[in-house]
Amino acid sequence: MTAAKHDLIVIGGGPAGEKGAAQAAYFGKRVALVETAPALGGAVASTSIPFKALRETALYLAGYRTRRLRAVDVHMKERATIRDFLWQEHELVHVYQSRVLANLDNHNIDVVPGHASFIDPHTVKVEHPRRPSNVLSADVLLIACGSYPYRPPQFDFNNSGIYDSNTFINADCMPKNLVVVGAGPIGCEYACIMALLGCSVTLVDSTGTFLSFLDSEIATLLQETLKRTGIDLIASSQIERVSAGPPFTLTLNSSRELKADAIVVAAGRIGNTESLKLENAGLTADARGFLSVNERFQTAQPHIWAAGDVIGFPTLASSSMEQARLAMVHAFDLKYKQQGPSLMPYGLYTIPECAMVGETEDSAQRRGIPHVVGRARYRNNARGGVIGDDGLLKLIYASHDMRLIGAHLIGEQAIELINIGLMAMQMNATFQAFIDACFNFPSLAELYKYATYDAMKRKQQGRINPADRL
């Protein structure tokens, strides 16, 4: 069978695959994109959009409860399912998938449905259950095949009521008692949503440090909020046994037992590389199926690049897109942009939201960076008072020149607001940028000005590397 020749073959049609393919095609490269799933969009379409739709429903219900609109009473039906709270999901997914397909079509990218596996380092075979096989070859390849949830062996996922982070969205009932295993971002997000939808939630964390990548003050505030919501957080604990159910009995390594109608396991991800026949390309994945890349996202084979979830942390759609774009710039020497973003914002869709960019107070202390911290509370902001939020903006300034080096938020619209700090840091802005700015009033954006005032006051008082808390 003669191989169809392209400049680039992309394996995977999620955020990384789409943007990498479009980047190369924009500069005139002939591109083929192979996708196994029936529709494009990757995990964003299959999981992320449905999850965000569920979250919006939880916020809708929680808003009525916390803001006490006395004329409104919301009741759930007795046998509600998760799907009952996803009324807008189908349309949102369809629109997103159509947008991805239109983008690929506008760039004249050949979309090849089927499963790709390597024949040799430059050639892949594409097999489809209802179509003839294809053989494609290219000088450059981009692996962007994503990941899937890890399933620990002590859980029987064939048992109704035990779900991974992908399958829970299709649960056939609304559990009264839920155990979420894994207190990473996905586990915390699910715990928050289900607690606000009326479930009794227990969150089991195998580590001793809760969301250690967050600024510790923000992590503590989130942990306190989870507890106020009614979530029982059990740290430094492992699930050793699970009885048949439902209902289930989970036995921890401390011998404590938990009861649950349903279990969601959010214990990390596995790179979706097992069936790629990487050995034919001279590549090897690690024990979790992830590929190693250099700072330019190049694998051990110089002409094969990888981006997105398949290379591991941070497994964000935003970072995946930028990784793939940058990989293709280097792969084809496009003279477009020579380095990726030095700053990558991170957002948690917990309730409340958390977001961060740059140095934390903890990392600045570890690295010996003299710094000053400024804080502004939502409760002292006019818009924050209107929405009834008790969030926090925390800014980290380098003390020698008062240049912004970190921004951290917990509260409503945190994931949107963090972009103000991101752009300021991208431009090496100092405190003066926020002091000189005129923000709308009332607005949460004004928090940046008052957090900066707080940092200036602390610097004038000589309170560098502050250990105090508001």
Q: Are residues 304 and 258 in the same domain?
A: no
* Cis peptide bond prior to 314, omega within 30° of 0: yes
Give dist(CA 414, CA 468) in Å, integer. 23
Segments forming the whole domain that contains residue 388: 352-460
Q: Are residues 277 and 383 in the same domain?
A: no
- Is residue 469 in a domain? no
2 DSSP 8-state letter = P
Among 104, 143, 105, 102, residue whose Cα is nearest residue 121: 143
Name the pLDDT band for 403 (thresholds 50, 70, 90).
Answer: very high
Average pLDDT, the chain: 89
- Is residue 468 in a domain? no
Q: Which string of DSSP letters, residue by residue, matches 139-182?
A: EEEEE---EEE---TTS-TTSTTEEETTGGGG-SS--SEEEEE-
Q: Are residues 401 and 441 in the same domain?
A: yes
Q: Which residues pair with residue 203 across a beta bridge?
A: 180, 233
Average of per-residue pLDDT across 265-272: 93
Residue with tokens 């409760």: 379
Do residues 358 and 345 lie in contact, with contact meaning Cβ atoms separated by under 8 Å?
no
Q: Which residues pair with residue 233 across a beta bridge?
A: 203
Q: Are residues 138 and 156 in the same domain?
A: no
Q: Work out the widest C-alpha separation in the chain, in whole angstroms.
A: 76
Give dist(CA 230, CA 427) in Å, integer. 41
Average of per-residue pLDDT across 272-276: 94
Give dist(CA 357, CA 378) in Å, integer. 19
Q: Are residues 211 and 180 in the same domain?
A: yes
Q: Are residues 259 and 286 in the same domain?
A: no
Residue with tokens 């430059």: 122
Give dist(CA 419, CA 429) in Å, integer. 14
- What does pTM read for this prediction? 0.85
Q: Are residues 255 and 358 in the same domain?
A: no
∠378-357-338 over CA atoms, to 5°? Answer: 150
Structural domain total, the chain? 3
Each residue's pLDDT tens digit, 59-68: 776 564 455 4
Query: Which of 388 and 448 is assigned the larger pLDDT?
Result: 448
In total, the chain counts a number of residues equal to: 470
